[in-house]
Chains A and B, each alone.
Chain A
Amino acid sequence: MSRVSRTDGTALLTIEDLAVSFSTRRGTVEAVRGISLTVAKSEILGVVGESGSGKSVTAFSVMRLLDRAGRITRGTIRFRGQDITRLGASDLRRLRGAEMSMIFQNPRASLNPIRPVGDQISDALRAHRDMSRAAARARTLDLLKSVLIREPEKRFDAYPHELSGGMCQRVMMAMAMACEPDLLIADEPTTGLDVTTQKTVMDQLSAMVRERGMAMILITHDLGLASMYCDRVAVMEQGLMVETAAPATLFSAPKHAYTKRLVAASPTPTSTVESLSPDGAYRSPPLKSEATPTAPLLTVDNLVKRFDGGAPAVDGVSFAIGAGESLGLVGESGSGKSTISRIVCRLIDATSGAIRFAGRNIGAIPARGFHQASERADIQIVFQDPGDSLNPRFSAFDSIADPLRRLKGISDNQSLRRRALDCAARCGLPADLIDRFPHQLSGGQRARVGIARAIAAQPKLLILDEPTAALDVSVQAVILQLLDRLRREEGMAYLFVSHDLNVIRMMCERTIVLKEGRVVEQGPSDQLFARPSADYTRDLISAIPHFDPGNSRVRV
């Protein structure tokens, strides 16, 4: 059964030449600049794009949920022929929830924290239907069951904080489905969820939508996700719709230059660091030749970390990294990977276990005094969110100069400036940005400052804690290439922590898979990804959404 025949062709939603602008202190900004699209009945349309492309603004316009600064300046949004842009508040209230509903990013934040989740679903029901309290409760329990929440009677009275992120998103799904709308808008519904949770949530969401013959707009930054669950994918860039096509066409023959770049930059099971930019714009330099090390640079032996009284966050982990080697640490949230990276970086102390660096047991030096240890300069770290890892009151120069002052003892301004500019240049940060503050830099530029700061002290071991998790995929591509080049040129060893298996596979020679503080599997990356021996690793690998031409999307 071909995909198109399932949709009956009549348009449920038609957007024509929509433009939305926001008034800001810099004047008016056009977030959406004239886009047109249609969603047919029971069609799943993917809208992909990077941050600032206007995809969420489009969704909010359809729901007429734009905040006060935003205004629809031109165009029409027709839902079943009715122009939504002209509806009054009471008509909109009737429409929202009953005929079209929305699932937001960050499910926990979109639920009311002081009301049981069951009541919140009942509220949605009773707002649109004349229903008794008992009938609403019964219907809510059915809904909770339909999103596969076990023991719905018990969960009905749970508060959002008592549920996991995946569970909260299921509650949101139940709420959005409550009045059986014809159109569901899912705005990054699985961002922030673990990859295995993402898979179950998405599988369920698409199954429910298909089952009920609803139409859905899936907004995501993840091309792989869009390709797996959508009939058609629309690509947005800077407020414009650059290309709309079926996933197979979009991936095998992208037409627009931006789509080509985006497709190339999205990591797939076969992509390499070089293939992330189209047309071979990046070539990995040869590894800096190192004398074959006699002993590993870092040995971690039976590491245990227990936070006050709880179950151990890290439970007997051992590994070694050779000089110039890149080791990947992969696992879902709660696997202990970030804790390990902080212990190895000597920012927190382990409960027990040894950390040997270049022959010395640095685990014996307490973390609070480690800033004086000679190894401080040798072990540096790049943090996850480049926005939150830069001091808002430090310019890029101040941030990069700080380790030079502290760890290299450079104090005269001229050499500090020269060294900082050199670090910035090696990280591809233009010299004229060096005096800017973090909020004046883009995400990618901030990431470069964070990396420049970490390599300023010329470390032998660089710990990368999800260095690209908060970045757009095209920015991630250039940062990964930068990290690849730096490692090869400077001969640093990497401890690369990530939840993204494709990234780890590209960047690391060896990989360790963690689950609940224990090592599940470890080995050379190629081997581990091609022939995983542990079930957990297999689950992780199969849960990564990606476009797979072999499985050309005929599962109905």
Chain B
Amino acid sequence: MTTSTLSHVGYVLRGNPLTAIAGCGAALLVFVALFGPWIVPYDPVASNVSISLQPPSSAHWAGTDQLGRDILSRILAATRLDLLIAASAVSLSFVAGALIGSLCGYWGGKVDRWIGRIVDVLMAFPLFVLAMAMVAALGNRVENIIYATAIINLPFYIRFARAEVNVRRNLGWVEAARASGNSHTQVVTRFLLPNILPAMAVQISLNLGWAILNAAGLSFIGLGVQPPTPEWGIMVAEGARFITTGKWWLVAFPGLALMLAVLCFNLLGDGLRDILDPRMRT
């Protein structure tokens, strides 16, 4: 079983080597998030004005910022916070969205129509503005960024789960599950949800990248995480002031980190679907 799983993963990766690269990138991100505080070369919040705004050098690979803090250390330290926000927000919206969506898709009817309209209304808002409003109203705290990001992602999960369940609910094996003595609830949780997971995993992976961008965006405009906490969005925002004077490294490196993180999760999506789909195995 394990060898066949491995050979299957190997097969998918050979057909799509980008997945392997993206997987390594994602693993690296998780590693940095877990062990960041121990691998940073300098204290990410200690300022030293005497070495402020130095370009990349052998001592400071990514240069220093206006307060003389090592940018590489700050980027590494920020990984944990950014991933934490994105992962919690995505898990929240995934769990809630999959449940609500699959119940809507399975039962249909009045509740489905109402939830469908609410989702439509939610999606009609400019999502980023909605998140801004929520964080502003709820207060500038990390939890609130998570909730706001989760809520603006929710409609996608609801729609996705609803559509995936809807195409399956009349299949023979769903009826067979009922004939075997499963209640409707058991059919949804034990039969339908596991079947839509591979498709949802793709969504999760794509969404993670997007949630990272969203959290960074909120910090960029001054909502959410506050300085001096190292966070990619804040770093880009702070560095933006210096770009006109040619101090590019303040923006370029955190921006690059952000871009690579988003790219990794996006690329991972496709490969993940092929790996998780049992029908791809033979």
Shortest B199–chain A CB gap in Å is 12
Q: Tell me whether A347 and B179 are in contact (CB under 8 A).
A: yes
Give the interface segment out of A60-68, A120-128, A390-398, A528-536.
A390-398
Contact pattern, B 166-195, Cβ under 8 Å of A = 1, otherwise 0? 000001110111111111100000010011
Minimum CB distance partner of A450 in chain B: B176
What does the 1/0 interface line of A326-360 toward B look like (CB < 8 Å)? 00000000000000001001010000000000000
User: How far, in whole Å, are A377 and B183 apart by their CA atoms in the complex?
Assistant: 14
**Which residues of chain A (385-405) have a CB below 8 Å from chain B?**
385, 388-394, 399, 402-403
What CA separation (Å) do A269 and B281 show in the bound complex?
42
Across-interface contacts of B195 in A (CB, < 8 A): 391-393
Within 8 Å by CB of B179, from A380, A391, A440, lies A380
The chain B residue with its CB closest to the CB of A368 is B184
CA–CA, A381 and B181, complex, Å? 12
Contact of A342 with B171 at beta-carbon distance under 8 Å, contacts A25-B282, A391-B195, A392-B279 already known:
no
Cβ–Cβ contact B172 & A385, under 8 A: yes
Nearest A residue to B179 via CB reads A381
A389→B173 contact, CB < 8 A: yes
Choice from B173, B279, B281 contacting A391 with Cβ under 8 Å: B173
Contact B282–A383 (Cβ < 8 Å): no
A376 to B181 alpha-carbon distance, docked (Å): 7
Q: Which residues of A contact B178 (CB under 8 A)?
A: 347, 371
Is A389 in contact with B172, judged by CB distance below 8 angstroms?
A: yes
Known A-B contacts A402-B177, A439-B281, A439-B282; the reply to A388 vs B182 at CB < 8 A is no
Distance from A26 Cβ to chain B, minimum over Cβ atoms (Å): 7
**With A and B bound together, what is the CA distance between A377 and B176 in angstroms?**
12
By beta carbon, the residue of chain B nearest A393 is B194
Q: Does B172 contact A407, Cβ atoms closer than 8 Å? A: no
A80 at the interface (CB under 8 A from B): no
Which single member of B11, B180, B194, B282 contacts A403 (CB below 8 Å)?
B180
Smallest CB separation, A410 vs chain B (Å): 12
Nearest CB of B to A413, in Å: 17
Which B residues lie within 8 Å of A454 (CB)?
179
Q: Is the CB of B181 within 8 A of A391?
A: no
Q: Is the CB of B183 within 8 A of A371?
A: yes
Contacts between the two chains (Cβ within 8 Å), count: 77
Q: Please indicate which of the listed interface residues B175, B181, B194 has the most CB atoms of chain A within 10 Å of its own CB.
A: B181
CB-defined interface of B119-151 with A at 8 Å, one 1/0 digit per residue? Answer: 000000000000000000000000000000000
Known: A393-B194, A393-B195. A402 touches B172 (CB 8 A): no
**Once bound together, how far apart are the Cα atoms of A391 and B196, in whole Å?**
12
Interface pair B182/A402, CB less than 8 Å apart:
yes
Determine the residue in chain B with the shortest Cβ distance to A391. Answer: B173
Taking the closest CB of chain A, its distance from the CB of B109, in whole angstroms, is 12
Residue numbers in A under 8 Å from B172 (CB-CB): 383-385, 388-390
Minimal beta-carbon separation of B218 from chain A (angstroms)? 38
* Min CB–CB distance B225 → chain A (angstroms): 40
Asked if B176 and A389 sit within 8 Å, CB to CB, the answer is: yes
Nearest CB to that of A26 among chain B residues? B282
Summarize B's interface: helix, strand, loop or mixed. helix
Q: Which of B180, B184, B281, B282 has the most CB of A within 10 A?
A: B180
A406 touches B181 (CB 8 A): yes
B278 at the interface (CB under 8 A from A): yes
Which B9-58 residues have C-beta < 8 A from chain A?
Answer: 11
Task: Write the nearest CB–CB distance from B16 to chain A, whole angstroms.
Answer: 13
Alpha-carbon distance between A342 and B177 when the two chains are bound, in angstroms: 13
| A107 to B176 CA separation, bound complex (whole angstroms) | 30
Known contacts: A381-B176, A383-B175, A391-B173. The answer to whether A371 contacts B11 by CB under 8 A is: no
Contact B176–A393 (Cβ < 8 Å): no
The listed residue with most B CB atoms (<10 A of its CB), out of A379, A391, A454, is: A391
In the bound complex, what is the Cα–Cα distance between A440 and B181 (angstroms)?
A: 26
B173–A388 contact, CB under 8 A?
Answer: yes
Q: Does A519 contact B (CB under 8 A)?
A: no
Docked pose: A393 CA to B278 CA in angstroms: 7
Q: Is A437 an interface residue (CB 8 A)?
A: yes
For B176, list chain A residues within 8 Å (CB).
Answer: 381, 383, 389-391, 399, 450, 453
- Residues on B with C-beta less than 8 A from A391 are 173, 176-177, 191, 195
Given A371-B183, A406-B182, answer yes or no on A342-B175 (Cβ-Cβ < 8 Å).
yes
Cβ contacts under 8 Å, B282 to chain A? 25-26, 439-440
Give the chain B neighbours of A437 by CB distance below 8 A.
Answer: 278, 281
Contact with B along A1-35 (1 / 0, CB 8 A): 00000000000000000000000011000000000
Q: Is the CB of B181 within 8 A of A25?
A: no
Q: Is A423 an interface residue (CB 8 A)?
A: no
Query: Which of B171, B173, B281: most chain A CB closer than 10 A?
Result: B173
Q: Which residues of A contact B171 (CB under 8 A)?
A: 388-389
- Inside 8 A of B173's CB, which chain A residues have their CB? 388-392, 394
Bound state CA distance, A20 and B175, in angstroms?
Answer: 40
A402-B178 Cα distance, complex, nearest whole Å = 10
Contacts of B179 in A (CB 8 A): 345, 347, 376, 379-381, 403, 454
- CB-CB under 8 A from A390, the residues of chain B are 172-173, 176
7 pairs, CB–CB < 8 Å, chain A vs chain B: A25-B282, A342-B175, A383-B175, A388-B173, A391-B173, A406-B181, A406-B182
Closest 3 CB pairs of A and B: A389-B172, A406-B181, A403-B180
